[in-house]
Chain A
Amino acid sequence: MNLLAAAADDGDLFVAQNVFFAVIALVMIVSAIRCVTTRNVVHAALWLVLVLAGTAAQFILLGSEFVAVTQVLVYIGAIIVLFLFGIMLTRASMGDDESVAGEKRLMAGLVAVLLAVVMGVALLDSYSDTRLVIEAPQRFSAVSDAIFSQYIVAFEAVSVLLLAALIGAIVVARKE
């Protein structure tokens, strides 16, 4: 309680933001764990929807509306739908699928822990004493100005890369 009062004296603590961050983060963590532990592939994809929706919500808390909406459009509206579509076209068994049990669980867990440690340390090292000042939601025009002036080269490079991936996918899919 003292800690909270002391922090509130600091002036720029966003109580509501922090509470919502905690709630959303909790939902995301539970969903992410269920996503990898469930034995039903369709359920795993649906839990992943919650994780990605949580990410979009966190972006809204940060005032980055454009990124949040793009997250919904691209990940939930396209990628998850393709996942579900693919699963249902091939093996849409009801109930638990015993073949999902997975002997690679140990390896996957190891990789996950390693990734968490590396990314956590990297993030803490570079941003631990950076203060994020959010005064207003980011204007969409500011995003487009940044993309088409400062980051134009990167943007064009990514576009060409995506085009190459697209053509590559078609070539791989139609080799007769």
Chain B
Amino acid sequence: MNLDFFLYLVINTIVVITVSPLFVSLIKKVKAWTQGRQGPSIFQTYFTLVKLLKKEVIYSPNSSRIMRVTPLVTMASILVAALFVPLVFVPETVGGIGNIILFLYLLALARFFMALAGLDAGSSFGGMGSSREMSISSIIEPTTIIVFAALAFVFKTLNIFDMFAISVSTGSPSPSTLILIAISLFIIIVVETSRIPVDNPETHLELTMIHEGMILEQSGRNLALMELSAAVKMTVLMALLINLIVPFGLISALTLAGILIAVFLFVVKGSILAGIIGLFESSMAKKRFFQLPSLFAMAFFFSTLIIIIEVFS
């Protein structure tokens, strides 16, 4: 492992952890504005995380070791998945880091543990959340893999690092493909990060909650980890979209000034995307759970379209 790559590990992790809570707050702010409210400060998520870190952890007497290791495993696997998507700086890949399938399955690893933790305490809320989360993730999976296969097909590589390098240097493929990729990835972001119309991150009502239901039993520093890992996951998926579609500012040689500019540009681009997500959420109603498969079918259609266009053009 060379020095560049080691620096990449450090920089990427620090950047992703620092900016993720900002994007979460921004989406909340945009949603508040559209509802005519002032909304919380854009630093509110940071304050919440600090507050949670100071609180004690409460475990149900029924819960097992799964409950205790889940926050750590979730955080670790999401952070490793974050290493697969360079935010600001694209080094040479080492040992197959950046493999797009492995990236997807690292997210699945986190989800597997979270779903088990939801079942662990034996409360019906947790079970309901786990059951719905696993169902939704199962039926979105064919779409996700087809989108990723389309990416691999368009960029002729399986590695996210190489995809970014290609999109920075030679520019992206044709605009039609680009738009379809953007739509498909956007739908994946909405589904994977439990947003309206799939899930409602704001409420704790049993009728709507999926992700929130699963982590209902978590408290204190464990809850902080779960919240932070959800934020990081969202940022990473957003970065995948941003750096494929509007890659300017992404650097491949390491300089201090370059990094600072790249981070600044990434925050700007990410904030715009967060705003779009917020507007999208505000303009939609939460769909009934069993109407979701048809939404996913639409996403599947868009992603297959990319492939058909690429195959027959």
Query: Do A and B interact?
Result: no
